């Protein structure tokens, strides 16, 4: 009799354990390619994230849709999701704003200025919403780039506070920056100077929108791919690993064997607003 009771309890506990819901904001969530992942595999995985949500398709009649509307399948199509929008090549402020114009929220941007043979730094910053009177996100993105350049430039006299969620390396803060002869500091200063000169530098955007809105962005010119998380993902509880435009075969570190060019001087305009070279 005792054995029967024990077996019954084990069965009940096992059933309860398997029915526990997914904990929101699991830290293993991430946007962007895994280190070393083949880029082709990531592009397929990212595209698939806009087809399936929470283990099932969110489009009636799509692949795997058996007509069963059991609870736990795909959420409502109007559920909002965090996503990473990756650029085919670095965007200017206007290009980035145009790519995500139809989305209700943009909360972060990633920046890199490509230089052949130099592993240039990748910086990220959290973004606020447009202030009263601003009709687009150009001003918001411009302010974000100003924060990036202030943090990357070892000669900056001030370092504006960066909102939570910034991916910028604290070691590049002007108060603790390495000596100007250091390669990393030289690359950081070069990045800041080129952004100030108007060189396109935005390579990724952290956004939020419905699956349909994200699909529309994925089809926009200049967008390389869009990857979305499940709707229960919690802001600041997932990693963001930008896909670099130079990463074609695999998400591996870039070559870093060429001399770092000198920083540009005499440019103090509005960051990222210039024309392509």
Beta strands 80-91 and 223-228 are antiparallel
Q: Which residues contact 177 (CB under 8 A, 6 or more apart)?
A: 154, 171, 185, 188
Give the length of the chain: 277
The residue with tokens 């114009």 is: 101
Asked, for residue 164, whether it belongs to a domain, the answer is yes
- How many domains are contained in the chain? 1
In a domain, 7, yes or no: no
Q: Nearest to residue 162, comparing CAs of 110, 126, 190, 208?
A: 126
Residues of the domain holding 130: 28-240
Radius of gyration of the chain (CA): 22
Q: Is residue 251, in this structure, part of any structural domain at all?
A: no
> 108 in a domain, yes or no?
yes
pLDDT at 33: 98
Give dist(CA 228, CA 125) in Å, integer.
Answer: 19
DSSP output for 4-50:
HHHHHHHHHHHHHHHTPPPPTT-TT-EESPPTT-BHHHHHHHHHHHT
Assess if residue 111 is contained within a domain: yes
Hey, which residues does 208 pair with through a beta bridge? 82, 105
The reply to whether 17 falls in a domain is no
Q: In order along the chain (277 residues), what is the average pLDDT of each group of 10 residues? A: 48 40 57 98 97 50 41 65 98 97 96 96 94 90 96 60 35 41 89 96 98 97 97 94 98 95 70 47
pTM higher than 0.75, yes or no?
A: no
Domain assignment present for residue 254? The answer is no
Q: Which residues of 1-21 are buried (b: 16+ CB within 10 A; e: fewer)?
A: eeeeeeeeeeeeeeeeeeeee
Which residues are bridge partners to 57 per DSSP? 52
Direct distance between the N- and C-terminal alpha carbons of the chain, in angstroms, rounded to an integer:
82
**Largest Cα span, the chain:** 88
In this structure, is residue 128 part of a structural domain?
yes
Q: Give the Å distances, CA to CA, from 149 to 67, 125, 139, 170, 276.
A: 52, 11, 15, 13, 19
């Amino acid at each position: 009799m005792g054995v029967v009771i024990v077996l019954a309890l084990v069965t009940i506990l096992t059933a309860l354990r398997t029915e526990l819901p997914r904990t929101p904001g699991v830290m293993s969530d991430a946007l962007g390619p895994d280190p070393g992942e083949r880029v082709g595999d990531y592009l397929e995985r990212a595209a698939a994230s806009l087809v399936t949500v929470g283990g099932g398709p969110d489009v009636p009649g799509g692949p795997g849709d058996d007509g069963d509307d059991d609870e736990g399948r795909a959420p409502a199509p109007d559920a909002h999701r965090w996503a990473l929008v990756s650029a085919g090549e670095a965007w200017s402020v206007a290009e980035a704003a145009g790519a995500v114009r139809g989305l209700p929220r943009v909360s972060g941007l990633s920046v890199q200025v490509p230089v052949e043979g130099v592993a240039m730094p990748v910086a990220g910053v959290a973004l606020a919403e447009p202030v009263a009177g601003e009709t687009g996100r150009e001003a918001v993105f411009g302010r974000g780039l100003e924060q990036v350049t202030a943090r990357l430039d070892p000669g900056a006299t001030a370092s504006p506070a960066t909102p939570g969620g910034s991916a910028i390396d604290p070691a590049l803060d002007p108060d603790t920056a390495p000596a100007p002869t250091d390669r990393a500091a030289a690359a950081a200063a070069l990045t800041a100077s080129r952004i100030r000169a108007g060189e396109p530098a935005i390579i990724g955007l952290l956004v939020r929108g419905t699956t349909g809105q994200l699909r529309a962005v994925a089809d926009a010119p200049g967008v390389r791919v869009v990857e979305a998380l499940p709707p229960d993902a919690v802001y600041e509880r997932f990693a963001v690993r930008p896909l670099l435009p130079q990463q074609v075969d695999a998400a591996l570190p870039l070559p870093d064997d060429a001399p770092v060019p000198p920083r540009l001087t005499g440019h103090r305009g509005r960051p990222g607003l210039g024309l392509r070279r």
